[in-house]
Structure 1
Amino acid sequence: MNSRSSSLQYFLFGQNFADGLRTTLVVLVPALLLLYLGQPEAGIVISLGALCVSVTDLPGPLRHRRVGMLVCVACLLGVALVTGFARLNPVIMGLEVLLFSFVFTLFMVYGARAGAVGSAALLVMILTMDQPLTPLQVLQYSALLTGGGLWYLAFSLIANRLMPYRPAQRALGECIHAIAEFLRLKAAFYQTGTNLDEAYRNLVAQQVVVNEKQDAVRQILFKSRQLVEETTGTGRALVFAFVETVDLYEHITATYYDYKSLHQRFGDTGLLTDVAALIERMALKLDDIGLAVHANRRFAAAGFDLNPQLEAFKARIDALAAQELGLSTIVLKKVLVNLRNMQQEIQALLTYFDPASPTYTQSTDQLEYSRFVTRQDLSLQLLLDNLSPKSVVFKHAVRMGIVCLFGFVVARFVGLGEHSYWIVMTIVFMLKPGFSLTKERNYQRIMGTLGGGIIGVLILSLVQDTHAQFALMVLLMLGAFSFQRSNYIVSVFLMTPYILILFGLMGIGFRSLLQERLIDTLIGCSIALAAGYLLFPTWESDQLRTYMRDVVRANLRYLQQLADNLTGKPRELTEYKLARKEVYVSSANLAAAFQRMLSEPKSKRRNSEEVQQFVVLNHILSSNIATLTAAVTAANRPARSPEQLRPVQQSIAALSHSLQKLDAEAAETMPVVPAATAAAAGLPVPTAEDQQLTEQLIFIRTVSYDIGKVTDSVLV
């Protein structure tokens, strides 16, 4: 299957498209029904309530979605009532804008879903502030708005009851798709002429995507009791498949070696090209599996037997070793072992499609799954703790309140038409906690509005039939709602002509409307961008130290797991996988923060080259730890020699020292590797593999020292 066809199918069967389709239907049905009954205004208000609640219906456990939507409905009712009466006095309305913008932005301390509830509440305030309502109409308006929110809530819950496993299947499919792309990027390291620096940048960027997808699956699976109860075979199969994908991802990250040395030693043999071809084939098959899970359809495993190619690769390695005496091919054999492991994980993943497999009947309580998800603190104390200038959310809330009030005043005196509230709306949705995100959103908003405005004018000028205009409007709605979480510029590009067509069908001149929207958008974006730069700015370089600390701490814990294995201590599976997850999450957070920093003004970036080196070194470290952990576990030896333990002890000491530099309060007891107590005569005779292991442990020590040096450079 070609990549374009695969991408299209991932989109059509994806959660974003499903959410866009649901939102489109829920918004259209009451509007069309009440239009037919002669109450178009009431239909629009109900649709508005449904649209606002849809903003909070983020993917996740059903219980969280339900509570989030109920809280949102309550907020809509309260905000609509207060705004409906406050709008009668401009001063009181201005105070409400200041207070509500601050309070509802503070909701972000409770996570993304709570932040979406705050955004929906602000949207209602903005859309209500210019409504010409009498006191009685305020009550009617608030009731209709609440009814619309309850209508969306009911529709969403019924859809989930009819298809309870589809959100988890879609999330898992997207996760597998992201891992397949990560694997495809890994193949580049074995190809001739690859720029390793560029390859690392691409790999680290994709690591961020994989972490986001994995976390989305964890939230849905491990926080939904229905999916992990023993009575639901499909739920167990989904959990099993996800565990297999994470294990596969570990094997993929473990395929790290000194690629420069590999190419120097074996580049002329053609073996590395074979490795790249095998990896790309695995990535293609994995992508097909992900699409099948994503679309909830059967998958034929026939044709995926790489054993002949792997055996041929082994024969070529043996022939090379026989041909060039003295040439060590252990590293190639380790590559082969890793390829076999990846193939086995992919084969295990295929059991998901077989209802008769033990996957659907065996218990899933082998791991304490609840420990793999982060519990959101919803206490009042968390809010109180964030009422401090040191809190990023607090600074953002204060900034939002001040800037929205300023935008409200500007709209009152500079507004060009009846929709001057677009200025405040633009500020609310463009102003982000960090300047880099604010800058990116502003660019996307302006470009999307300009491009969409041109398309809207062309449609209204060339298509005169109202039925055709309505059909195009529905398609644009569907696209805008489907891309609003995944590609903002596309969403705005589609939403602008949709709004123009809607107002055109209502008899409002679209040319003057477009002019007003463009000017209001430019004003709002300018205010938001200036505020993000000048008013309590938050720069990513100020946050990097925290992310760096978390990465070093995670790698230190991960390395301790390897040290325990080397001393013969039995591995605790849950603790090991928790350490592995911590490495993945912290590494992705650091990489994402670094990418955001690069979009900030040059004067605000600090030590960008050193930070990039820090990111790559920690990726190399965790990859090597994964490689050695797999090798040591497979060897199943009770203990290792002191010569092999010494580099690990030194690596742990170096990382502990770096951690204390990054956080003086992190002076926790330094992990210590127990000294080898076995007599030298009691240890197995060292083999070539032992020598290779020792070399890799020394390499880990070198990387740990390099991390310490780079840490010093960053902290200067």
Structure 2
Amino acid sequence: MLPSLPHVSRRDLSYFFFSQHFSDGLRTTLAILLPALVGAQWGNFEAGITISTGAVCVSATDTPGPAKHKRNGMLAGLGLVFVVSILTGVVAPYRWLLGLEVVGMAFALTMLLVWGARAGSVGSATLLAMVLMLAHPPALPQVLPHALLLLLGGGWYLVLALLQQQLQPYRPAQQALGECLHAMAGFLQLKADFYQESTNLEEDYRRLVAQQVTVNDKQEAVREVLFRSRQLVNESTSTSRRLVLTFVEAVDLYEHITAGYYDYAALRRDFGRTGLLADIAALISRLATDLDYLGSAIQANRAYGSPAPDRTAEWSRLQARIAATPADAADSSPRVLLKILVNLRDLIRRITNLRRYFDESLLEEAPPEPSRAATHLQFVAQQELHFSAFTQNLTLNSSVFRHAIRMTVACAVAFVLAESLWHGQHNYWVLMTVTIMLKPGFSLTRQRNIERIIGTLVGGVLGTLILKTVASGDVRFAFLVVFMVVAYSFQRTKYIITVIFLTAYLLIMFTFLGAGYLGIIEERVTDTLLGCAIAFSAGYLLFPSWESDQLRDLMAATLRANLAYLRQLADRLAGREVTATAYRLRRKDVYVASANLAAAFQRMLSEPKSKRRHPTEIHQFVVLNHILSSNIAALTATLQDTATPTPPPSPESRRALTSAQAALTRSLTRLAPETLLEESAPAPEVRSEVPAAPADRPLLEQLGFLQKVSTDLSKVTEVLTA
């Protein structure tokens, strides 16, 4: 069943039309359409289609990232498409040799995933080129000219992409940063829901954790574009400095958003009838809207516009209302409301700071930082292209190798089925469906299969309605162009939308070529069902990759990251220096590990029930992990914002902190006993010569809560490993 359509605002439309995905969709549509139209105009439509096919294949390698990496990926795809097209053309007359090529290429090209997602996209693009050649293999004398036309089409797309990058060098970074702020605004809006008594707290946590995954993905995308581009981190231009400084400020803002954790059940119970929580939720929602407007303006590369609303005045009114609340109107101390006020004031200040992006005068005199690139490179994962990675992964212990085996068997079955049992005019669609649908994890394969089938059926209906109701060729062509742009704009975000509009525009295109669309619909639906059945069966039966098998390692990684995060807090309390870069690296590790765990848990819930292990306990682990990191962030932020030196903690505080570290270490020992390293153990307690301060009651309460959450994590881990 299709999900209900969400409300679409003007701001949502702005995010779409100024997004990287929409510009990619426009570029891909232009690169595909123009050669076909020129070929038709010059009386050589077949050559134009071949050039367009080359553009389609190379466009699949043009994934978001630094300009240098995108260029290298497209060049690699261009070379492989050329070589494989020649090989396919030579062996095409010999069906058994062609079958061997399909099997060998399916394995070798899938194994490219050992060098990362971009290399994997190069392999997928090459597989696509090979499969598309099966539609009408050229005669032997035409093999080289055909391959040269594909090379020309791929080169045309490459030139178009590089030209756009040269003309708009900052646009990818602006678009990625805008989408990051958009995701953070969604996260902040979900935080407001915790103060609404009408929402379910468990469901709120599920949605918050899911949005955390999205925010992490967007932050990683910005890091890739900004910190891997020497042009951006080394330049002393105002635009480059604004992009880098704004992103650093945005990550700090996100930390303060996550740090705003409270016992929401107790808040609702104690202050629900005062009406204060609704006012707090309303202010947070307005701050989320302000952040969303900022993201939209940055992404669209336009001025912020009207003066920003004065949220400080709203905060002051909320402060006065809390101060005026009678002591007997609530069931507990209003101190927690004061903590919320402090957090809200900090959020207002930081969102206001983000508006400096639009004020060049504030950054004109900022001196460039020569060592900035070296520092920022620490925040992005390094991907080395060593051939040894290929040979080291030729084992069943490698998930990439197991996926390559699945792909090889599935492609062999699809090829034999299409050649011997199914003789449709476009039976290569079966093989193409398999190569697109089969993914390394079963949950993603299942999701893609469902979306492919639904999208094909809906797209077939849409295309038929257009063809039955619209007789004008010009209007049909206009629909074709619009459908192409939409299909290629959503191919990396909403696959079901891509399939719907791709199917519809293919039907219109085949009609222009003189084919009967009813027969095309029947064949496409049949080929899609066959291909999806083969891909689904391979994903389920051949070395299936279940998320529950990966969760133990992901939980251990999350505990390691939180333990290191907690130890930096212990270092601060002990008076040891923690540099800003070291702290941000530990914070990033927590965000990445937590997002990876949450994403794997969500994928596990889409797998067969028999393959899910301890879903309730894992959900508790994910939520407790979020609460733990939020409170560590809150305490760290308090220490960072304190102007006076932090006094030595009291013995009670030290005991609570040591106990929390010990509980996390016990949990890590249960999950990964073979990786017990010195880093996993609690840091030795440093005794200061300065007498300990008397017990700081708020600090002691916060550390006691960290101890409780860490102990709860240990109990959940004990159940999971029993």
* TM-score normalised by structure 2 residue count: 0.96
Residues 325 and 663 (structure 1), Cα distance of their counterparts in 2 relative to 1, 3 Å cut: closer
1:427 offset after TM fit, Å?
Answer: 0.4
Instruction: Tell me the SS of whatever aligns to 1:299.
Output: coil
Question: Distance between the aligned counterparts of 1:316 and 1:572, measured in 2?
Answer: 40
Asked whether the 8 Å contact 2:648–2:690 carries over to 1, the reply is no
- What is the deviation of 1:698? 0.8
Q: Give the AA of the match of 1:134.
A: A
Equivalent residue letter for 1:700: L
Q: How does 1:468-479 map to 2 (within 5 A)?
A: 468-479=475-486
Q: Which residue is 2:682 aligned to?
A: 671
Post-superposition shift, 1:267?
2.3
1:327, 1:498 → 2: CA distance? 62
Partner of 1:712: 718
Q: Report how far residue 39 of structure 1 moved.
A: 0.8
Q: Is the 8 A contact 2:181 2:250 kept in 1?
A: yes
Give the structure 2 partner of residue 185 of structure 1.
Answer: 190
Q: 2:76 aligns with which of 71, 75, 94?
A: 71
- Whether contact under 8 Å (2:238, 2:363) holds in the other structure is no
Deviates more, 1:3-12 or 1:592-601: 3-12
> 1:226–1:232: 8 Å Cα contact kept in structure 2?
no
Cα distance, 1:396–1:297 mapped onto 2, change above 3 Å: same
Q: Give the 5 Å matches for 1:426-441.
A: 426-441=433-448
Q: Which amino acid aligns with 2:578?
A: R
Residue aligned with 2:138, SS: coil
1:574 matches 2:581: yes
Q: Deviation per CA, 1:406-434, whole angstroms, max 9, x where unpaired?
A: 10000012224221000000000011111
Q: CA deviation at 1:454?
A: 1.1
Question: Structure 1 counterpart of 2:263, which letter?
Answer: D
1:213 to 212, 218, 224: 218
Question: Is contact 1:236–1:359 with CA below 8 Å preserved after alignment?
Answer: no
Indicate the RMSD between aligned Cα atoms, in angstroms: 1.7
1:443–1:55 CA distance, 2 compared to 1 (3 A): same
For residues 679 and 226 of structure 1, the distance between their equivalents in structure 2, rounded to whole angstroms, comes to 49
Q: Displacement, 1:567?
A: 1.1
**1:454 to 2:461 alignment:** yes
Query: Could you tell me which residue of structure 2 aligns to residue 546 of structure 1?
Result: 553
TM-score calculated relative to the size of structure 1: 0.97
Match of 1:85 among 82, 90, 94: 90
Q: Which residue of 1 aligns with 2:703?
A: 697
Of stretches 47-56 and 454-463 in structure 1, the one that deviates more from structure 2 is 454-463
Superposed displacement of residue 323, structure 1: 7.1
1:157 to 162, 175, 179: 162
SS at match of 2:65: coil
User: Per the alignment, in what secondary structure is the counterpart of residue 418 of structure 1?
Assistant: coil
Q: 1:13-48 CA distances to partner (integer Å, 9 max, x unpaired)?
A: 111110000000111111111211111010000010
**Map of 1:357 onto structure 2:** 362
Q: How many residue pairs end up in the alignment?
A: 710
Residue number in structure 1 paired with 2:651: 642
Match of 1:466 among 446, 449, 473: 473
Query: 1:324 and 1:464 mapped to 2: Cα distance?
Result: 70
8 Å CA contact 2:274–2:330 kept in 1: the answer is no
Q: Distance in 2 between matches of 1:49 and 1:601?
A: 39
Letter in 2 for 1:251: H
Structure 2 residue corresponding to 1:95, chosen from 96, 100, 114: 100
Alignment of 1:302-701 (within 5 A): 302-320=307-325, 328-358=333-363, 361-364=366-369, 365=371, 368-635=375-642, 636-669=645-678, 670-678=681-689, 680=691, 683=693, 685-686=694-695, 690-701=696-707
Q: Deviations over 1:108-164 (max 9, x none)?
A: 111111111001000011011242422121011000001111111011001110011
SS at match of 1:59: coil
Q: What is the alpha-carbon distance in structure 1 between the residues aligned to residue 467 and residue 690 of structure 2?
A: 87
Instruction: Summarize deviations over 1:167-224 as a string: whole Å, max 9, x none.
Output: 1100000000000000000011112233111110010000000000000000000000
Q: CA deviation at 1:3?
A: 5.3
CA distance in 2, matches of 1:28, 1:249: 42
Matched-pair contact (CA < 8 Å) for 1:654–1:708: yes
Shift of 1:316: 3.1
| Deviating more after overlay: 259-268 vs 26-35 | 259-268
* Residue equivalent to 2:58: 53
Q: Aligned pair 1:18/2:23, yes or no?
A: yes
The residue correspondences of 1:116-155 to structure 2 (distance < 5 A) are 116-155=121-160
Q: Is the aligned partner of 1:286 residue 2:286?
A: no
Q: Secondary structure at the match of 1:368?
A: helix
Greater shift in the superposed pair: 504-513 or 95-104:
504-513
Q: Taking structure 1 as reference, are residues 638 and 402 closer, same or farther at Cα in structure 2, changes over 3 Å only?
A: same
What are the Cα deviations for residues 574-606 of structure 1, in whole angstroms up to 9, with x where unaligned? 111111111111111101000100010011111
The Cα of 1:301 is off from its aligned counterpart by 6.2
AA partner of residue 642 (structure 1): P
SS at match of 2:304: coil
Residue 441 (structure 1) shift: 0.4
Q: Is the 8 A contact 2:66 2:229 kept in 1?
A: yes
Contact in 2 for aligned 1:237/1:359 (Cα 8 Å): no
- Equivalent residue, structure 2, for 1:198: 203
Displacement of 1:232 in angstroms is 2.3
Deviations 1:325-355, CA, capped at 9 Å, x for gaps:
9963332222111111111111110000011
Alignment gaps of 5+ in structure 1: none
Deviation at 1:314, TM superposition (A): 2.5
Whether the 8 Å contact between 1:179 and 1:249 is mirrored in structure 2 is yes
**How does 1:29-48 map onto structure 2 within 5 Å?**
29-48=34-53
Distance across 2 between alignment mates of 1:401 and 1:325: 66
* 1:470 maps to amino acid: F
Identity of aligned residues (%): 50
Contact residue 11 and residue 17 of structure 1 kept, 8 A = yes
Distance 1:360 1:54 in 2: 41
Give the distance between the partners of 1:702 and 1:410, measured in 2 at CA.
Answer: 59
